[in-house]
């Protein structure tokens, strides 16, 4: 097959995400090798180190599209790629799951090897594999090294670690090496909704969920639960599944009775969900459409073992926007579980969390764990007044506050070719700076020095915005010209004078006479 962009090769069935698009755009298909009726190898030439997780997603998509058992995207960097040692190390760290999968598929390592057995040592630039000691241990290292050279862009060594092996004897008395690894068997849980699935399915971290994966199994805690009744009477159930890496939203459709049952089973529980990934354009995130849910045994709850219990007097619930995720009722339940005598709900400027907190308080009393609910609120009751001078820092001096050095009036405008500046302070001048002038930055620096750090009096806010944009338009490596001195707007000062000093002589003259920069200069 002739060289072609990977993006075009996969255009019919690759989901259009930025992660997949970047990898596809940087890769060229050099050849496609049909190893057997169920196996395919695609050789890629990449302009930068690809993301192995994206490559694995591509492989799964191709395998599903063409009903293949094995698909491998063999890849290497092209001769013009300029990547650093740090890029190589990051690539090798991400390569571990992809490498382990294909080493097992190609029978280069024992099928019993799992994610904990293969690791990458960034300091020594070495892949380390823990396996049982046997006669072919050295050949295993050579096979892995050969595979790396032939099918990946990794340039590193391979080390076989058999230090964890212990000698045991079988029934015939012969020595048998077993790797001493403590593996915790994961609980399968109880199926409570949907269709069951093979427990051999590999689980995916919540942070790794993307539309390229298509089908995923995620294990975690249910952090919130919502129900929405549709017009046709069906119920849309939505809940968040959180593991140690991140959270993913899970959704499904069912009848109202099933939704109530799921709510009672799932709220605050641990669960494992299998489903298909899909992109929610309304929320702008990837979510999991459940096909099966298994309920797991609850975690051991945290306890407060302090002799003298505390009382939390400042805590927010999910009613405080962008400040908390927990339900107000769950706060009360947790405090009651800790044995606290009381707890306060103090959301930002609202009281909508009180009903749920009160209900939880009543439930705790019935359950024999009474707790006092303190109703509170973090309010906003102070009038901060009207802001007249922008950009003041905490280190502003008394001399600056008293305007001892006076004000500088400034008006700035621009068109496609020129920047027009009117300056009225210790000096009064007008300048026009061509935007393609080689000395543009020098003139802007001179203007910044004239302005100094004193306050500016501007005809409009656009004047300071133009200066900042022009000061930031520099070539790579060239220092920017910064205009971050304090400033005031004439129209805002005039409105302030009219509102608070309507009978003052200076105020009336200021509001009537000051219109242009020239008026500012002559009246300062």
- DSSP codes, 255-289: -HHHHHHHHHHHTT-EEEEEEEEEEETTTTEEEEE
> 467-476 long-range CB contacts below 8 Å, 24 or more apart?
467/412, 470/414, 470/419, 470/435, 470/440, 470/444, 471/444, 474/441
Residue range 177-228, pLDDT digits in tens: 444 444 455 667 889 999 888 767 788 888 888 877 788 999 999 988 999 9
Q: What distance in Å separates the CA atoms of residue 108 and residue 113, rounded to the nearest whole number?
A: 11
Helix then strand then coil, in percent of the chain rounded to 5, is: 30, 30, 40
For a pLDDT cut of 90, what percent of the chain falls above it? 24
* pTM metric for this prediction: 0.39
Q: What distance in Å separates the CA atoms of residue 327 and residue 316, rounded to the nearest whole number?
A: 9
Mean pLDDT within 372-397: 77
Average pLDDT, the chain: 80
| pLDDT exceeds 90 at position 19 | no
| pLDDT exceeds 80 at position 396 | no
Residue range 39-90, pLDDT digits in tens: 888 888 888 888 888 888 778 777 766 777 788 888 888 877 777 888 888 8
CB 106 within 8 A of CB 71: no
Nearest C-alpha neighbor of 187 from the set 337, 36, 298: 298
CB 65 within 8 A of CB 95: no
User: Which pLDDT does position 383 carry in this prediction?
Assistant: 64
Q: What angle separates helix 85-105 from helix 137-151, to the nearest 10 degrees?
A: 120
Residue range 410-427, pLDDT digits in tens: 889 999 899 998 887 767
| pLDDT exceeds 80 at position 285 | yes
| pLDDT exceeds 80 at position 351 | yes
Residue range 440-497, pLDDT digits in tens: 889 888 888 888 766 788 888 888 889 888 888 888 778 888 888 888 888 888 888 7
| pLDDT exceeds 80 at position 162 | no
User: Which pLDDT does position 387 carry in this prediction?
Assistant: 76
User: Which pLDDT does position 137 carry in this prediction?
Assistant: 67
| pLDDT exceeds 90 at position 144 | no
Task: Give the residue, 10 or 286, on which the prediction is more confident.
Answer: 286
CB 403 within 8 A of CB 455: yes
At residue 237 the predicted structure's pLDDT band, cuts being 50, 70 and 90, is very high
User: Which pLDDT does position 272 carry in this prediction?
Assistant: 94
At residue 334 the predicted structure's pLDDT band, cuts being 50, 70 and 90, is very high
What's the length of the chain? Answer: 524
| Lowest mean per-residue pLDDT among 173-182, 248-257, 386-395, 489-498 | 173-182
CB 490 within 8 A of CB 514: yes
Q: What distance in Å separates the CA atoms of residue 339 and residue 306, rounded to the nearest whole number?
A: 10
The dihedral over CA atoms of 24, 28, 29, 31, expressed in degrees to the nearest 10, equals -160
For a pLDDT cut of 70, what percent of the chain falls above it? 78
Q: Which residues pair with 423 in a beta bridge?
A: 410, 429
| pLDDT exceeds 60 at position 271 | yes
Mean pLDDT within 338-349: 94
CB 332 within 8 A of CB 363: no
Q: What distance in Å separates the CA atoms of residue 278 and residue 213, rounded to the nearest whole number?
A: 10
Maximum average pLDDT range among 63-67, 114-118, 171-175, 310-314: 310-314
Angle at 513 between CA 508 and CA 517, to 5 degrees: 130
Q: What distance in Å separates the CA atoms of residue 453 and residue 317, rounded to the nearest whole number?
A: 44
């Amino acid at each position: 097959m002739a060289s072609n962009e990977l993006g075009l090769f996969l255009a019919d069935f690759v989901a259009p995400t930025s992660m997949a698009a970047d990898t596809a755009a940087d890769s060229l298909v050099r050849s496609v090798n049909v190893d057997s009726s169920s196996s395919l190898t695609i050789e890629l030439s990449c302009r930068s180190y690809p993301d192995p997780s994206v490559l694995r997603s591509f492989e799964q998509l191709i395998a599903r599209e063409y009903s293949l058992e094995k698909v491998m995207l063999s890849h290497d960097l092209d001769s013009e790629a300029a990547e650093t040692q740090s890029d190589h190390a990051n690539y090798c760290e991400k390569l571990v799951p992809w490498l382990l999968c294909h080493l097992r598929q190609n029978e280069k390592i024992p099928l019993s090897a799992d994610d904990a057995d293969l690791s990458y040592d960034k300091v020594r630039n070495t892949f380390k594999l823990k396996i049982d000691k046997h006669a072919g241990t050295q050949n295993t290292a050579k096979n892995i090294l050969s595979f790396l050279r032939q099918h990946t862009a990794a340039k590193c060594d391979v080390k076989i670690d058999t230090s964890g092996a212990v000698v045991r004897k079988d029934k015939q008395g012969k020595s048998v090496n077993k790797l001493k690894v403590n593996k915790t068997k994961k609980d399968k849980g109880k199926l409570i909704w949907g269709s069951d699935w093979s427990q051999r399915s590999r689980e995916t971290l919540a942070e790794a969920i993307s539309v390229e994966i298509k089908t995923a199994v995620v294990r975690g805690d249910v952090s919130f639960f919502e129900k929405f009744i549709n017009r046709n009477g069906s119920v849309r159930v939505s809940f968040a599944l959180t593991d140690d890496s991140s959270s993913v939203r899970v959704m499904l459709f069912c009848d109202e009775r099933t939704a109530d049952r799921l709510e009672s089973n799932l709220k605050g529980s641990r669960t494992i969900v299998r489903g298909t990934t899909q992109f929610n354009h309304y929320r702008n995130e990837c979510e999991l459409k459940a096909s099966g849910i298994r309920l797991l045994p609850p975690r051991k709850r945290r306890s407060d073992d302090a002799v003298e219990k505390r009382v939390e007097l400042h805590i927010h619930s999910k009613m405080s926007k962008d400040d908390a995720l927990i339900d107000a009722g769950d706060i009360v339940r947790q405090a009651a579980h800790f044995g606290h005598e009381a707890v306060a709900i103090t959301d930002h400027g609202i009281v909508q969390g009180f009903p749920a907190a009160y209900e939880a308080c009543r439930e705790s009393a019935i359950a024999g764990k009474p707790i006092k609910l303190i109703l509170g609120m973090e309010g906003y009751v102070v009038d901060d007044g009207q802001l007249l001078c922008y950009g003041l820092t905490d280190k502003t001096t008394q001399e600056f506050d008293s305007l001892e050095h006076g004000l500088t009036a400034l008006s700035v405008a621009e068109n496609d070719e020129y920047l027009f500046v009117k300056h009225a302070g210790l000096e009064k001048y007008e300048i026009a700076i061509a935007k393609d002038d080689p000395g543009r930055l020098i003139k802007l620096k001179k203007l910044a020095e004239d302005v100094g750090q004193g306050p500016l009096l501007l005809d409009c806010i656009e004047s300071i915005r133009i200066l900042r944009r022009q000061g930031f338009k520099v070539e790579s490596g060239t220092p920017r010209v910064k205009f971050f001195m304090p400033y005031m707007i004439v129209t805002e000062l005039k409105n302030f004078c009219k509102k608070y000093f309507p009978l003052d002589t200076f105020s009336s003259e200021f509001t009537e006479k000051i219109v242009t920069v020239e008026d500012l200069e002559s009246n300062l």
